[in-house]
């Protein structure tokens, strides 16, 4: 099966990476480009968006880097307007941004709870609110939401805001999928399990859950049924498939990319 996204425009929110190496959003942006799409790389961190766009253009494909906060409706509106002005269409909307706030109900303050919900869930609503009209007008479109297995399972960290926000992304995905199916739009979620990306070293308090960073890596590998965490390309490859015409009858799914973790009892 060849994933051919030639002439498609993919808008990737969270296309940078929070540290060295490959994050899920950065890998997805590059994977869309390698499949033929023109890619708009959006990130809160302009330098991170530019780095990803640079990788894509160095490989001979088309990319545009933009800075925006996905929790801001005004900034999403600006991004969508710019993409429509430059490319005239949006075929793929990829919502990758997600932040983890470590801390239970007793420790987390209201502002951090709100930020999790705004960045992880409201962002998906806002991006869909402003991109879907263009897809509806075109009669076609694919949305890929990067959720998490943490939306279905408790993953070893004390982070209720993250768990709740990702559960909301899963259900929002289904709601949008059902509502917009007759308009030619598919909305699916990818649920990464334990993935070795920069996020696990840059998120405050994650490593400390297991002692230190090395202990966290060992614990995450051990928790994975395969004995190893996945990598950002595992998530990216699932996303490009879901965004492609090969997945034309797949809608509203929560696709676990977790090496079998969700299937395990303990």
Ligand X SMILES: NC(=O)c1ccc[n+]([C@@H]2O[C@H](COP(=O)([O-])OP(=O)(O)OC[C@H]3O[C@@H](n4cnc5c(N)ncnc54)[C@H](O)[C@@H]3O)[C@@H](O)[C@H]2O)c1
Show which residues are catalytic: 162
The residue among 9 and 65 lying less far from ligand X, judged by its C-beta, is 65
Q: Can you name the residues that pair with 41 across neighbouring β-strands?
A: 12, 65
**Least separation in angstroms between CB 183 and ligand X:** 26
Taking only Cα atoms into account, the Rg of the chain, rounded to an integer number of angstroms, comes to: 17
- Contact status: 259 vs ligand X (CB under 6 A): no
Which residue in 12, 65, 99, 236 binds ligand X (CB under 6 A)? Answer: 99
**Least separation in angstroms between CB 184 and ligand X:** 26
Give the full edge-to-edge strand order of the sheet including 92-95.
63-67, 38-43, 9-13, 92-95, 141-146, 185-192, 254-257
Angle at the Cα of 196 from the Cα atoms of 116 and 202, rounded to 5 degrees: 45
- Contact status: 45 vs ligand X (CB under 6 A): yes
Residues in 206-235 at the binding interface with ligand X, rule: CB under 6 A: 232
Please answer whether residues 173 and 147 qualify as being in contact, where contact means their C-beta atoms are separated by less than 8 angstroms.
yes
User: Six-digit token pair at 164?
Assistant: 């709740």
- Contact status: 185 vs ligand X (CB under 6 A): no
Closest-by-Cβ residue to ligand X is: 98
Nearest to 1 by CA among 257, 260, 248: 248
- Contact status: 24 vs ligand X (CB under 6 A): yes
**Least separation in angstroms between CB 129 and ligand X:** 16
- Contact status: 78 vs ligand X (CB under 6 A): no
Nearest to 10 by CA among 97, 131, 114, 126: 131
The residue among 23 and 259 lying less far from ligand X, judged by its C-beta, is 23
* β-pairing verdict for 141-146 and 185-192: parallel
Residue 188 has φ and ψ, to the nearest 5°, of -130, 160
- Contact status: 96 vs ligand X (CB under 6 A): yes
- Site residues (CB under 6 A) for ligand X? 14, 16-18, 23-25, 43-45, 48, 69-71, 96-99, 119, 146, 148, 192, 194-195, 197-200, 232
């Amino acid at each position: 099966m060849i994933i051919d996204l030639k002439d498609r425009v993919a808008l990737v929110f969270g296309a940078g990476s929070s540290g060295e190496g490959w994050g899920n959003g950065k890998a997805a942006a590059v994977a869309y480009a390698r499949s033929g799409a023109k890619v708009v790389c959006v990130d809160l961190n302009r330098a991170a968006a530019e780095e990803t766009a640079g990788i894509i253009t160095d490989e001979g494909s088309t990319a545009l880097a933009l800075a925006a906060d996905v929790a801001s409706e005004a900034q999403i509106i600006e991004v969508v307007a710019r993409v429509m002005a430059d490319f005239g269409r949006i075929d793929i909307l990829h919502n990758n941004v997600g932040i983890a706030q470590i801390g239970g109900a007793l420790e987390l303050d209201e502002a951090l709870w709100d930020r999790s919900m705004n960045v992880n869930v409201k962002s998906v609503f806002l991006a869909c609110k402003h991109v879907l009209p263009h897809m509806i007008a075109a009669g076609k479109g694919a949305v890929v939401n990067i959720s998490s297995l943490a939306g279905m399972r408790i993953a070893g960290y004390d982070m209720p805001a993250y768990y709740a926000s990702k559960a909301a992304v899963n259900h929002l995905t289904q709601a949008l999928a059902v509502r917009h199916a007759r308009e030619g739009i598919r909305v699916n979620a990818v649920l990464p399990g334990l993935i070795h990306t920069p996020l696990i070293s840059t998120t405050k308090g994650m490593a400390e859950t297991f002692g230190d960073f090395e202990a966290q890596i060992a614990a995450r590998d051990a928790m994975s049924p395969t004995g190893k965490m996945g990598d950002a390309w595992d998530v990216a490859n699932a996303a490009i498939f879901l965004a492609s015409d090969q997945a034309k009858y797949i809608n509203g799914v929560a696709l676990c990319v977790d090496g079998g973790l969700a299937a395990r009892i303990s």
